[in-house]
Amino acid sequence: MSKTQATTAAGARVYLYDTTLRDGAQTQGVDFGVADKIAIAEALDGLGIDYIEAGWPGANPTDDAVFQSMPPMSHARVVSFGMTRRQGRSAANDPGLTAVLSARAKSVCLVGKAWDFHVDVALGVDRDENLKMIRDSIAHAARNGREVLFDAEHFFDGYAANAPYAMQAIEAAHAAGARWIVLCDTNGGTLPDQIEHVVGEVAKKISGDRLGIHCHNDTENAVANSLAAVRAGARMVQGTINGLGERCGNANLISLIPTLQLKMGMETGIGRDRLPRLAEVSRLLDRRLNRASNRHAAYVGEAAFAHKAGLHASAVEKDPASYEHIPPEAVGNKRNVLVSDQAGRANMLSRLRDMGIKVDPKDERVMRLLDDVKTKEYQGYAFDDVPASFELLARRALGAVPQYFALDRFQIQVEHRHNAKGELVTVSQATIKIDVGNERMMMVAEGNGPVDALDAALRKALEPRYPSLAALRLLDYKVRILTPQDGTKAVTRVMIESADDKGRHWATVGVSPNIMDASFMALEDGITFKLLHDGVRAS
């Protein structure tokens, strides 16, 4: 449509280079193990990523082990990362370079300086010597049979400060045999129009199909900057899954890939067939990092195709294109019509239909359920996050949930003391009194902690009657104090994630001033959901 878009060769092949395992590993709070790195590499290969930068050999023991145990890839090239040689050494005698070249990887990526200020201040070497360091290192790696990439660190800051020197740095790498010259916006401060202009200038000297782009998100423009470079001719995009990376992160490949393919008509190694794997690759990384997925992530977030406002929800019912920029299935995501305080009747009915509940739109129980949701949300429930607890609430309102058991009372004890040997030990014990069918029983059990003990006592009482509970596992347990607001009293919200041997997983919630009561509610809902979906009848 626009002038710039018209010059983009739609249909051109863009190469995708993932640095989640190297630059992404710099992120605050991220600490990949060997098994994590290999699982992520396999997922990236399965998706169709062209290059996987697996680590920096010699920098730490994890990365060395990763290269040793990396399985063969079906599509991707594994890349080892390192620096150009140090001042005053030959490339062949540089220990850093030697480590990079000893790793089992077809390609190597070497980073070097392109900003005169950094050469002078951070590195403190002569500018000509810096150019020699680049030339020698690239040539040495190429002689060793590697495909070589040159990461031109701080290229855009360098170009702004001293364009001729920045160009000399990348021309040195190009002349020495680098297959790809990657222009890095290392500090992340460059804007899209600047990127587009500079890459366009560089492409007059070095063909765009030799140029890559590596952006950081410090102005929230990493995705746009990468797209601007592609419009200007660059044909490799470096980034990370979910935009993982130091400071504000790297360019997010998960956002870039569908835009390149679906909106700009570029070819990648992924293609339309594998594009629906995108959401799963995004979630895999979060699971490996043991963190919640960003529900607002572009394309793949749980909320990316969520419709909360009553007006939107009813228009989406008529035609999804009215409020969706792409079909969610194209990237492996799905539409999500939300239950919430703002929900209208249309949302609620659509949600009930998704659960397979048929109800007359005029049934007054629907309005009562809406009121119930509003009341509970006011108390601190947040049903958006716990579809299982919402489903139970809805089914109870419509009178369709058996009472599998009824608690009479519980007592929990945690004791932290010295044992007979003088060692500090902590013992947790739960006692419950409970009705199952027409039998009242008392049970007592120990656990790693009070909730575990309560869970153990419940299972002891319930498993003889409901044997499928043996396959129920508690995956995650999260607690949050909701601070007093608008005069309401502080409450504790407990969320429990459960799973079973049928591959199902579900989250339930409990809210109470007391953490143990809230935990019991979430456990109770988790067990009830399992039994209901197993089709078990109350005994």
Min separation Cβ 329 and a second copy, Å:
15
Q: Is 277 in the site for a second copy (CB under 8 A)?
A: no
Q: Please name the helix (run of DSSP H) or strand (run of DSSP E) that holds residue 478, with its range, or none.
A: strand 473-482
DSSP symbols for 270-332: SHHHHGGGHHHHHHHHHHHTT----TT-TTTSTTTTEE-SHHHHHHHHH-GGGT-SS-GGGGT
**Rule CB under 8 A: is residue 104 a binding residue for a second copy?**
no
Question: Interacting stretch for a second copy, rule CB under 8 A, among 91-99, 253-261, 397-405, 462-470?
Answer: 253-261
Task: Please report whether residue 278 would count as binding a second copy according to CB under 8 A.
Answer: no
The single residue among 20, 27, 347, 350 that binds a second copy, judged by CB under 8 A, is: 27
Least spacing, CB of residue 441 vs a second copy, in Å: 16
Binding status of residue 290 toward a second copy by CB under 8 A: yes
Which residue in the set 17, 18, 24, 36 belongs to the binding site for a second copy (CB under 8 A)?
A: 36
Q: Using the rule CB under 8 A, which residue among 57, 158, 233, 249 binds a second copy?
A: 249
Give the helix, strand, coil percentages of the chain, each rounded to 5: 45, 20, 35
Q: Indicate which single residue of 282, 492, 498, 528 sits in contact with a second copy (rule: CB under 8 A).
A: 492
Q: Does 442 bind a second copy (CB under 8 A)?
A: no
Smallest gap, in angstroms, from Cβ of residue 374 to a second copy? 10
Least spacing, CB of residue 403 vs a second copy, in Å: 16
Near a second copy in 165-194, by CB under 8 A: 186-189, 191-194
Min. distance of Cβ 341 from a second copy in angstroms? 5
User: Among residue numbers 343 through 372, which ones bind a second copy (CB under 8 A)?
Assistant: none
The residues facing 112 across adjacent strands are 152
Check residue 450 for interaction with a second copy (CB under 8 A): yes
The contact pattern for a second copy, residues 72-91, with x = CB under 8 A and - = no contact, is --------------------
State how far the Cα of 53 lies from the Cα of 105, in Å rounded to an integer: 9
Residue 71 amino acid letter? P
Among 65, 359, 515, 538, binds a second copy (CB under 8 A): 515
Positions 198 through 227 that interact with a second copy (CB under 8 A) = 198, 217-221, 223-225, 227
Q: Which is nearer to a second copy, 38 or 105 (CB)?
A: 38
- Which residues, 6 or more positions from 462, have their beta carbon under 8 angstroms from its beta carbon? 404, 405, 436, 469, 527
Tell me if 69 contacts a second copy by CB under 8 A.
no
Q: Give yes or no for a contact between 235 and 207, defined as CB atoms under 8 angstroms apart.
A: no
122 binds a second copy (CB under 8 A): yes
DSSP conformation letters of 216-239: B-TTS-HHHHHHHHHHTT--EEEE
124, burial (CB in 10 Å: exposed 0-12, middle 13-18, buried 19+): exposed
- Print the binding letters for residues 381-400 with a second copy: x by CB under 8 A, - otherwise: -x-xx---------------
> Site for a second copy (CB under 8 A): which residue of 68, 93, 375, 448?
448
The owner of tokens 């007979």 is 420
As measured in angstroms, the least distance from the Cβ of 143 to a second copy is 27
d(CA 238, CA 343): 41
Residues touching a second copy: how many (CB under 8 A)? Answer: 124
Instruction: Tell me the two tokens of residue 434.
Output: 């409970």
Least distance in angstroms from the C-beta of 229 to a second copy:
12
Region 406-425 residues binding a second copy, contact defined as CB under 8 A? 407-418
* Strand 77-83 relative to strand 51-55, pairing: parallel
Residue 330 touching a second copy (CB under 8 A): no
- Does 136 bind a second copy (CB under 8 A)? Our answer is no
Q: Does residue number 160 form part of the binding site for a second copy (CB under 8 A)?
A: yes
For a second copy, which stretch binds (CB under 8 A), given 64-72, 165-173, 313-321, 394-402? 313-321
Verify binding: residue 238, a second copy, rule CB under 8 A: no
φ/ψ bin of 299: left (φ > 0), alpha (ψ from -120 to 50), beta (otherwise): left
Between 76 and 202, CB nearer to a second copy: 202
Q: Record the tokens describing residue 303, joined without a space.
A: 């909320």
First-to-last C-alpha distance (Å) of the chain: 66
Residue 280 interacts with a second copy (CB under 8 A): yes or no = no
For residue 473, state whether it binds a second copy (rule: CB under 8 A). no
Cα 148 from Cα 316, distance rounded (Å): 49
Q: State yes or no: residue 253 binds a second copy (CB under 8 A).
A: no
CB neighbour list of residue 250: distance below 8 Å, 6 or more residues apart: 19, 23, 24, 214, 215, 216, 217, 222, 238, 239, 240, 243, 244
65 binds a second copy (CB under 8 A): no
9, 125, 326, 499: which one binds a second copy (CB under 8 A)? 326
Angle of CA points 97, 101, 103, to nearest 5°: 125
Query: What radius of gyration, in Å, describes the C-alpha atoms of the chain?
Result: 29
Please give the angle made by the CA atoms of 61, 150 and 238, to the nearest 5 degrees: 80
SS3 for 436-477, per residue?
A: ECCEEEEEEEEECCHHHHHHHHHHHHHCCCCHHHHHCEEEEE
Residue placing its CB nearer to a second copy in the complex, 108 or 223: 223
Which has the closest alpha carbon to 137: 199, 89, 197, 78?
89
